[in-house]
A and B are shown apart, each in its own frame.
Chain A
Amino acid sequence: MNVSAPLTPFNSPAEQDLPMILDTLPDPAIEGQGCPRRTRQQIDLILLAIEALDLGGSEAILAFAQELDLKGIIKDRVNLWRMRSTNPLRRANIRRPLTIMEAKALVVISCYLARRLTVVIRQLLMINQQMVEKQIPLEQNLRLSNYLERFRAHFRSRMNKRRSGLMALNSDDKLNELAVNLLAQLLFCTGTAGMQRFWISLFDGEVE
């Protein structure tokens, strides 16, 4: 079948060498080898939010892959891009599955990056909270508006506007809302059990 070619990185012989860190995330009870649509989408968006927070975000993803011994899964920039392009919203959406193991590796890295950014994430969320309460436009805060602007720019340059999921995301306000929601979800990733919680939540409504 046509899906078999990209699957090669993960076959049983390599299984023993997989880093221990991935064992903390249980395998979900889903059919087939690939991750469900919502899982692929959410992982990519969380990474997008990290990139919008941290200018060196995409470099950091690769650096953490090295540090956490996940190079066997996330080999290089191209490899990473191909994994993220399994997000169905992407302009360059690639029809290849995202394996559970690849998803785990991306989740582990997201959570480590989020943890590093905990202070910024918390501050931005507090600022957002105050601005909303006082009904001040979010753009008036420099730090928050920097994040939102970068997120919108990343989103618009990489996502396909015509995908049905994006029809609702055509205005700045809608994208800001998404950006703030992702920020709050990132905060949850920083917690003691944040990694497990984020991982399990990716399969909500996907298991039988």
Chain B
Amino acid sequence: MNIQRKYSLPNCTLLLEGLSDASKTTQFQEMRPELSILVNAECTLSGYTQSIAGGREFFESLVRAVSAYAQEFLSNISNPQAHNSESELVQLEKVNPNRHKLSVRSDIPQGDLNNGGAKQKIEINLNSVQLFDLVEAVDQFFADTQTLPELTLELQPVARGHSAVSGALLEQAVPAGVGFAGLAAAAIAFNLMPAPEIEPAEAQKKVDETTQSVNPEVQPTTSSNNQVQPTPTANNTANSSVATPTQSPSSPSTVRDLEKLIGSAPAIKNSSRLRKLNSQVYSQLNQAWQNRQGLESDIVYRIGAAGDGAIIGYKAENQTANAAIEKTPLPKVLYNPASSSAIANEPIAQFKVVFRRTGVLEVSPWLGYVNKSDNLGTNITEQSALSNLNQKLSASLNQNASGDTTYKESLKYRVAVKQNGTIADYEPLNKEAFQNFRQTPIPKLFQGDNTNNTETQEPLAQFQVEFQPGGKVEVTPWQGYR
């Protein structure tokens, strides 16, 4: 069935044309069928007769760039996703506070095919009101659950010093192909493992277009190996028939099974990164989890998150979890790798995600914060020195502690102390400790930079410090007295 969706604003009209998935629309009484296959997207802006148009890749790139640039506009902090000329077809740049340049690159060579190189580029200057209308059209699309429901609004603050992050992404772009090869090998190995239960309805999604096949639940483990080859071919034909500007050459669309990803990718073990990712995963899921009723029991998943917090795979940990996948936001928040560079060999962190029947979300590292004491450097282990420092630390913490505390549970930290008794490094060990850090005397006593503690050459004494509600402090050596 041919469907059109139009999002109209005074300065911008977004027109989406596509098809509904015939196998899914069994209910004919459905008033507004789901547009699940995008054939053409067209965006017309006031003052420009030429509209910008393209297929799925263009549209995904458009909504990403627009969304990121809207954030940049609000915060005045450069958002790397808005102007990624390497991989994105659509970019937005600030000319001045009231002028914004939208540029659209087409991958279809113009004119002579033999010429090959000449790529068309359209540039449109928008004022702030036009920009807003474009953002609003995109947001209305996001809010429309009957049109490409797998594309949802995902907002994340730009990280402090994101330049380092984007640098890391560039480094990873090169060995991605290598990782993909390794992954194929891993896929064969994992073929021997039993396939997870698949919901029957999910199988139908296979007839969906390109990126639909990216959903992990669509791919049973056993069949994924066979599908590695056919899928790209299918993409090609689909693309040419619907005139999508490009195919995604590196689309690792069949590698979403978490087990396989874990098999091939290095694990993120560093506890501070895990903690950061933990909160990113939590906020993504928490935000996306709309309908919190209807769970019959607590359901548990193991999920894999990439270094930037994107959820790149999940696995049901019990039978109920498998059946209830559609009640969770997991399919919605799953990162879509076809839309960006390959994620094949990015390091992965695993988390345990529990959706409580009561509507509460819990996220914790799958293996706990195992490596917290990995990089502690040389330690002071001599008994008398240790007990001496223990007393010193305990005394200075007690001296500076305030009785005026608001936390209700005890806060646990790992604290490293130099030979002279000053704090060299610390690490919160539980959530309360992280949240109520400012109420402890540690920030007062700790002078320095906590980020590169591994570089300190000095031997340190490691302690566990526990602040109990009311301000009582307990200090014990990290590895006990021997």
| Set A38, A132, A206: member contacting B98, Cβ < 8 A | A132
Known: A193-B142, A200-B157. A8 touches B128 (CB 8 A): no
Partner-binding segment picked from B242-250, B259-267, B389-397, B435-443: B435-443
Contact with B along A169-208 (1 / 0, CB 8 A): 0000000010011001101100111101110111111111
Asked whether, in the complex, the Cβ of A122 is within 8 Å of the Cβ of B406, the reply is: no
Contact partners of B74 in chain A: CB under 8 A: 185, 188, 197-198, 201
Contact partners of B159 in chain A: CB under 8 A: 205, 207-208
Asked whether, in the complex, the Cβ of A207 is within 8 Å of the Cβ of B157, the reply is: yes
Contact partners of B160 in chain A: CB under 8 A: 205-208
Asked whether, in the complex, the Cβ of A1 is within 8 Å of the Cβ of B286, the reply is: no
Contact with A along B313-324 (1 / 0, CB 8 A): 000000000000
From A32, which residue of chain B is reached at the shortest CB distance? B438
Q: Bound state CA distance, A1 and B287, in angstroms?
A: 33
Residue picked from B79, B287, B436, most chain A C-beta under 10 Å: B287
> Which chain B residues numbered 200 to 230 have a C-beta less than 8 Å away from chain A?
none
Contact with B along A26-57 (1 / 0, CB 8 A): 11110111100010001000000000000000
Determine whether A12 belongs to the interface, using a CB cutoff of 8 Å to chain B. Answer: yes
Q: Bound state CA distance, A26 and B435, in angstroms?
A: 16
Determine whether A125 belongs to the interface, using a CB cutoff of 8 Å to chain B. Answer: yes
Determine whether B93 belongs to the interface, using a CB cutoff of 8 Å to chain A. Answer: no
Residue picked from B128, B136, B159, most chain A C-beta under 10 Å: B128
Count: A-B pairs, CB below 8 Å: 132
Determine whether B408 belongs to the interface, using a CB cutoff of 8 Å to chain A. Answer: yes
Asked whether, in the complex, the Cβ of A197 is within 8 Å of the Cβ of B70, the reply is: yes
Contact with A along B271-314 (1 / 0, CB 8 A): 00000100110010011000000000000000000000000000
The smallest C-beta distance from B8 to any residue of chain A, in angstroms, reads: 13
Contact with B along A83-111 (1 / 0, CB 8 A): 00000000000000000000000000000
Determine whether B3 belongs to the interface, using a CB cutoff of 8 Å to chain A. Answer: no
Asked whether, in the complex, the Cβ of B279 is within 8 Å of the Cβ of A29, the reply is: yes
> Which chain B residues numbered 362 to 415 have a C-beta less than 8 Å away from chain A?
402, 404-406, 408
| Set A27, A191, A193, A204: member contacting B158, Cβ < 8 A | A204
- Contact residue range for chain A? 35 or more
Determine whether B75 belongs to the interface, using a CB cutoff of 8 Å to chain A. Answer: yes
Known: A198-B74, A208-B160. A29 touches B283 (CB 8 A): yes
> Which chain B residues numbered 176 to 212 have a C-beta less than 8 Å away from chain A?
none
Asked whether, in the complex, the Cβ of A204 is within 8 Å of the Cβ of B128, the reply is: no
Contact partners of B127 in chain A: CB under 8 A: 129
The smallest C-beta distance from A150 to any residue of chain B, in angstroms, reads: 20
Known: A31-B437, A188-B70. A201 touches B139 (CB 8 A): no
Contact partners of B155 in chain A: CB under 8 A: 193, 196-197, 200
Asked whether, in the complex, the Cβ of A191 is within 8 Å of the Cβ of B283, the reply is: no
Contact partners of A181 in chain B: CB under 8 A: 97
Asked whether, in the complex, the Cβ of B129 is within 8 Å of the Cβ of A204, the reply is: no
The smallest C-beta distance from B342 to any residue of chain A, in angstroms, reads: 25
Contact partners of A28 in chain B: CB under 8 A: 157, 283
Contact with A along B132-165 (1 / 0, CB 8 A): 1001100110110000000001011111101000
Q: Bound state CA distance, A38 and B74, in angstroms?
A: 12
Contact partners of B283 in chain A: CB under 8 A: 26-29
From B438, which residue of chain A is reached at the shortest CB distance? A32
Q: Bound state CA distance, A181 and B405, in angstroms?
A: 41
Determine whether B444 belongs to the interface, using a CB cutoff of 8 Å to chain A. Answer: yes
From A178, which residue of chain B is reached at the shortest CB distance? B97
From B127, which residue of chain A is reached at the shortest CB distance? A129
Asked whether, in the complex, the Cβ of B129 is within 8 Å of the Cβ of A193, the reply is: no
From B71, which residue of chain A is reached at the shortest CB distance? A201
Determine whether A136 belongs to the interface, using a CB cutoff of 8 Å to chain B. Answer: no
Asked whether, in the complex, the Cβ of B435 is within 8 Å of the Cβ of A187, the reply is: no
Determine whether A78 belongs to the interface, using a CB cutoff of 8 Å to chain B. Answer: no
| Set B77, B128, B135, B404: member contacting A1, Cβ < 8 A | B404
From B280, which residue of chain A is reached at the shortest CB distance? A29
Known: A184-B97, A200-B71, A203-B157. A8 touches B438 (CB 8 A): no
Asked whether, in the complex, the Cβ of B98 is within 8 Å of the Cβ of A129, the reply is: yes
Asked whether, in the complex, the Cβ of B156 is within 8 Å of the Cβ of A1, the reply is: no
Contact partners of B153 in chain A: CB under 8 A: 193, 196
Q: Bound state CA distance, A33 and B162, in angstroms?
A: 23
Known: A196-B153, A197-B155. A187 touches B97 (CB 8 A): no
Q: Bound state CA distance, A202 and B139, in angstroms?
A: 19
Q: Bound state CA distance, A28 and B444, in angstroms?
A: 24
Contact partners of A201 in chain B: CB under 8 A: 71, 74-75, 77, 157
From B275, which residue of chain A is reached at the shortest CB distance? A29
Q: Bound state CA distance, A28 and B276, in angstroms?
A: 11
Contact partners of A32 in chain B: CB under 8 A: 435, 437-438
Asked whether, in the complex, the Cβ of B132 is within 8 Å of the Cβ of A191, the reply is: yes
Known: A27-B283, A193-B153, A201-B71. A126 touches B129 (CB 8 A): yes
A interface residues, Cβ below 8 angstroms from B: 1, 3-5, 7-8, 11-12, 26-29, 31-34, 38, 42, 122, 125-126, 128-129, 132, 177, 180-181, 184-185, 187-188, 191-194, 196-198, 200-208
- With A33-B435, A128-B98, A192-B142 already in contact, 6 other A-B pairs whose C-beta atoms are closer than 8 Å: A1-B441, A7-B406, A8-B406, A192-B136, A204-B72, A208-B276
5 inter-chain pairs at a CB distance below 8 angstroms, sorted by A residue, are A31-B434, A32-B437, A128-B98, A188-B132, A193-B142
